[in-house]
A and B are shown apart, each in its own frame.
Chain A
Amino acid sequence: MSDKLLEIQNLKQYFPVKTGTFSKGYVQAVDDVSFFINRGETLGLVGESGCGKTTTGRTILRLYEPTDGKIIYDGVDVTHVDFKPYRRKMQIVFQDPYASLDARMTVGDIVGEAIDIHNLASSKAERKEKILALLNRVGLNSEHANRYPHEFSGGQRQRIGIARALAVNPEFIVCDEPISALDVSIQAQVINMFEDLQQELGLTYLFIAHDLAVVKHISNRIGVMYLGKLVELTDSKTLYSNPLHPYTKSLLSAIPVPDPKSSREKQRIVLEGDIPSPLHPPTGCRFRTRCPYAVPECAEAVPEMKEYEPGHFAACHRIQEI
């Protein structure tokens, strides 16, 4: 059963920047991105820094007003409506657990703030009970409620961030690089917690990260972004076993695998050059400046997302040939 919880259509997010004294340009952070997420599913979004994956996540939550395109949540177009009711359903966990918690609030108040805003507790006792239940759910003790964020380690802070997101009983959570600031030995704890919470509460995730191994582990489907465009979208196993887009291929081959034997055998496609500026993205296919298969045609037309196998989309002119 496919039951779309969230769908975005042709989403665009341009940020105006000053390029000179009188001239103005636009950073095309997200350009014409469309995908949907089924209820109870995890969609992973990967890409390098500056590819627009975080902006996509934030725009979905209307933390930025979208320049163009539609955000459809549970069948309702929420692109321009009053968003407050939807904040109860859609939440976010941020990347940096050091910067995303107010240092002057106790953990109890950080978690309780959303409960207050949405009037979810009828009495003080109920509010406290709710906060303690949330802290327990993410593996913290009730005594932690009276402490301040600086008293916690990175992994514990991220748990607080998750408890805060869960406070309003959301259906959908954007996880924006939630583990990249954590130590290796702690990452697995947090990943497992995300999986447990999803099972228990039936959550739907948009999981944004640059670590492909982590994204592949947690996601049902994965979208690969490059310079504001979605270049490939498929289920996580297929993406690894049969990547179609040349960028996905090079990304997969660039990942160092913690397995000395296989990395000795692996033929690596090392991409030349750097990511172009999103202020002046290349014409046509945005990847063509670094693509080993680029032909003159790639500079002319923007490749469309096409379905090559059922559920496997990619945007490249030359997929049939390479």
Chain B
Amino acid sequence: MLRFVGKRVWEGALTLAALVTLTFFVMRLAPGGPFSRNRKISPEILEHIKATFHLDEPVWQQFGRYVWGLMHFDFGPSTRFRDYSVGDLIASGLPYSLTIGFWAVVIASMVGIALGIAGALRRNTPTDYLAGVVGVIGIAVPIFVIGPLFQVIFALKLNWLPVGGSDQGWRSLVLPIVVLSLPNIAYISRLTRGSMIETMRENYVRTARAKGIGPRRTLIVHTLKGALLPVIAYLGPATAGIITGSILIETVFAVPGIGRHFVDAALNRDYPLVMGITLLYGGLLILFNILTDLVRGWLDPRVRSDG
């Protein structure tokens, strides 16, 4: 088990290192610097600014400086918001993004798994079809279409909730959370249904029935564990989906989270901020993949011994 954990952590560190390198050089090689838009700046001042941000050094030296900073948890200053460090900006946005992401995952897992199980147990009944329709809509209608529609219906027409922003506490976050959970409900319910149906056909479930274990106990003790393993395995990659979604959601609902910071930073070529958020996302993704693997290893003895 210890080797299993070690291997996962080592792989994660490798990925993270590759991510740091790639982001850094992509941002340096990308055309257009952070200040090329402000034409009015005189060459002297530009030189000064470049010196302040060490943009006049050779690229490899900048890279070394950056990695050195990272080791001290210093992401450097933002080139756009002069008075803030990247760390400050991330710290200000992270609570919003995490709250939305967390609740979206919780709702999506609960509703998705419940719908999937219901669909599998009552195949080809209205329940199953309803779950199927929800699934198809969640997958096919992008959240940047559903989001604005929900804003029109629930905020502008019915006036139940605010259109967006963050000034009304939890009320501001209801729509973003619900909209972000929709595609994940769809994926999880489809995955759960398929996996349930497959597991119910497994020979070991037949063995349980042959032992005269009632249908209830067979479902809970024998079927569910095998059926939910792929769903749990999906929760790692789902984090990536949640990150994608939160970028859109924060733009649509004007939530001041890190997803919005990221888009702004990318459009304004604010290198340090883009890199900081990329690393954060990458780190989160790696962390969740490791956690997912650990949970799978804990639940599935075969994964554990494969290492």
Q: Do A and B bind each other?
A: no
